Amino acid sequence: MAIRKPSSGPGDGEQVVRRALNFFAGHHDASDPLGGASETQFSAAIPVYRMDLENIRNKSFISEARYVGWRYLLGLAEKNQAVAIADVRENQSGQTAFSRLARGMIAQRLWDATMLADKTYRDRPEQFEFRIIDIPALQRSALWLHGDQNHNIFYPIYSGNADSSNVHEEPSFVEDVIGAASDYRTHAARGVPY
C-alpha cells in the first residue's frame, strides 16, 4: 500500500479529544451527534503543518512549512462519514493539549479527500504520507500527500469561502497559493483588505 499511516502521533491524543468532547457535551444540545464521546470513531492522527505568508515566495515554499500538531477526523460508528475534525498540539510543558474542534463542511471535505487520495494512490510504488497544510493568512487548507520521492500532491479542503465543488486533486495548488500570496501582499501594500 502506498499510503502509509503517520509513524507516530500523540499517545494520549484521542483521550485529550474525548475529554474535550465530554466537556462540550455538557454545554450543547442533547441531539448533537458528538454528544457521546464514547461512540465517536477516530481516524489515525494526521500531522498538521502551517505555512506563514512571508515564506510563500516561490515553488519551494512547501519546504518551509512547520509542523504544529495533529488532526483527527471524527465520525460516528453507524455512519460512513466525518462529522468533525479535532486538533491537538504539544503545549509548552510538552503535554498534549486540545486545540480546536470544527464541524461540517471542512470535516466532510477532509474525509472525501482522504478517501479519494487513498483510492488514487494506494497501489503506486511511491510511499505517501497524509499531512495537512494550513495557510491561515490566505484562509486555505489542503490534504497534502508527501511522497518519499519528494512528490507533493494536494487536495484543497478549504479556500476561504463555502466551497461546494467536489474534492479533487489540484495540480496547480502551489502556483495558486503563490498567486494568492502575491495578491494579498499587493492589496496590503495599498491598504485594501484582501
User: pLDDT tens for residues 81-140?
Assistant: 788 999 999 888 889 999 999 988 899 899 999 999 999 998 988 899 999 999 999 999
Full domain range(s) for residue 122:
3-190
How far apart CA 69 and CA 83 sit, in angstroms, is 20
In the predicted model, what is the mean pLDDT of residues 145-152? 91
Contacts of 106 (CB under 8 A, 6+ apart): 85, 141, 157, 158
Which set of grid coordinates corresponds to residue 111?
474525509
Whether the predicted pLDDT of 32 surpasses 80: no
Which set of grid coordinates corresponds to residue 104?
461540517
| Number of domain units in the chain | 1
